[in-house]
């Protein structure tokens, strides 16, 4: 069993790509109720980023409680391993910010937002990692973890 605490964030980022582009992001609003939603994510520099509807519950929640947890999709193909990232969340909702991120998601955002980065209908949800862990077979086969210093 591999138990490797203190790996670099790059190890987590590299592992996370095994699970495909989809993840489940958990947020909590001011009333304390949790919410979890599937999102397409990409690493942009050292942040996990999703392009989401401005009116979505996860955006409202992050505006009220700027924390989010990302769990990349699990499955048989990846041995039921888990890659989880906890972080500080923020919303990029201005045109200049959207322009800066628009071409960095790895897919054509215009398929979802024909109005382009000028449209206020979509925003970017950015999770700046605070800590992360990879669990092999639910942790039974080892783990790797990272924590921001």
Partner 1 sequence: MTGQDPEIDLTLAEVRSIGASLSPWAHLASVGGDGEPDVVPVHPCWEDDVIWVMIGRDSVKARNLAHENRVALHWQVDEKGDGLEVWGDASLHDDPDTKRRLWSGVFDYDLNLFAPGGPDASPDTVFMRIEPSRAMWMKAYGMGGVRRWRRNRLRS
Least distance CB 6 / partner 1 (angstroms): 20
Least distance CB 110 / partner 1 (angstroms): 15
Please give the angle made by the CA atoms of 23, 26 and 28, to the nearest 5 degrees: 160
Q: Would you say 25 or 126 has its CB closer to partner 1? A: 25
Q: Would you say 99 or 140 has its CB closer to partner 1? A: 140
Least distance CB 33 / partner 1 (angstroms): 5
Q: Would you say 53 or 99 has its CB closer to partner 1? A: 53
Q: Would you say 73 or 100 has its CB closer to partner 1? A: 73
Q: Which residues bind partner 1 (CB under 8 A)?
A: 22, 24-28, 32-38, 53, 65, 67-71, 73-74, 80, 82, 84, 86
Structure tokens at 148: 């921001």
Least distance CB 106 / partner 1 (angstroms): 17
């Amino acid at each position: 069993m591999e138990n490797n605490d203190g790996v670099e964030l790059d190890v987590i980022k590299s592992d996370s790509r095994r699970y495909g582009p989809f993840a489940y992001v958990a947020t909590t609003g001011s009333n304390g109720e949790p919410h979890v939603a599937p999102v397409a994510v990409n690493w942009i520099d050292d942040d996990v980023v999703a392009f989401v509807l401005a009116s979505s519950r996860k955006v409202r929640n992050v505006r009220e409680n700027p924390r989010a947890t990302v769990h990349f999709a699990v499955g048989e193909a990846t041995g039921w391993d888990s890659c989880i990232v906890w972080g500080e969340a923020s919303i990029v909702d201005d045109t200049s910010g959207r322009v800066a991120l628009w071409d960095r998601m790895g897919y054509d955002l215009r398929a979802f937002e024909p109005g382009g980065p000028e449209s206020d209908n979509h925003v970017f949800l950015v999770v700046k990692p605070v800590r992360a862990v990879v669990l092999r077979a639910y942790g039974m086969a080892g783990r790797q973890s990272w924590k921001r210093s």
